[in-house]
Chains A and B, each alone.
Chain A
Amino acid sequence: GQQVMQIPQYQHVQEGEDFTTYCNSSTTLSNIQWYKQRPGGHPVFLIQLVKSGEVKKQKRLTFQFGEAKKNSSLHITATQTTDVGTYFCAGPGSNDYKLSFGAGTTVTVRA
């Protein structure tokens, strides 16, 4: 079945630095979604990318969908302590409403 893999598993970042987390799928995706889960919280929808090569920005977060629609990235600039949490990418599986989640990238920030 379809698998979604994320790297790195952990990202330790100095406050103010930039970092990127990557998501790769074993199959072509019709769309990809990103979620953020704060420690002790539940996943919260961030964004959905649909088009090949699509780039979307939310303040300091930049999301990109690969040209082949098999990979995606999340780039955060000027990391803040509010960015702490686990970022999941998720792609549709056997039907468009079913999501397969990656294992997530857990971000910690050093002040």
Chain B
Amino acid sequence: EAGVAQSPRYKIIEKRQSVAFWCNPISGHATLYWYQQILGQGPKLLIQFQNNGVVDDSQLPKDRFSAERLKGVDSTLKIQPAKLEDSAVYLCASSLGGQGARSYEQYFGPGTRLTVT
């Protein structure tokens, strides 16, 4: 089966500019996650969707970050305006959701490496 797709793979922007990332999860996966991974650290959850509804966005800096999953499939994550500390890899992941034994397994995309100068 096809994996989680993300684009772009790399992005370099100047501070105060805006940027958007796109994610297409594995077909049939109800749950979609956006993570921020700073070099040398574990992934930090930014936002979690169940179908097209937000389940958790407690760690999303809402003054500058926004995300949507309008039709319950693809998702976009936007940063506006970007700051230097936003330089990181942004990972999208998906999982089946539901109650089955494999519902919690998360499958990650290749990530978008963002550099803010």
Interface size on A, residues (CB 8 A): 24
Could you jot down 7 A-B contacts, CB within 8 Å? A35-B106, A42-B111, A43-B93, A48-B104, A97-B55, A98-B45, A103-B42
Q: Is the Cβ of A42 less than 8 Å from the Cβ of B104?
A: no
Chain B residues in contact with chain A, CB under 8 A? Answer: 31, 40-45, 48, 50, 55-56, 58, 91, 93, 95, 97, 103-111
Select the stretch in A61-69, A73-81, A88-96 that faces chain B.
A88-96
Chain A residues in contact with chain B, CB under 8 A? Answer: 31, 33, 35, 41-45, 48, 88, 90, 92-104
Main secondary structure of the interface of A (DSSP, over half): loop
Q: Is the Cβ of B104 less than 8 Å from the Cβ of A33?
A: yes
Contact of B42 among A92, A93, A104 (CB under 8 A): A104
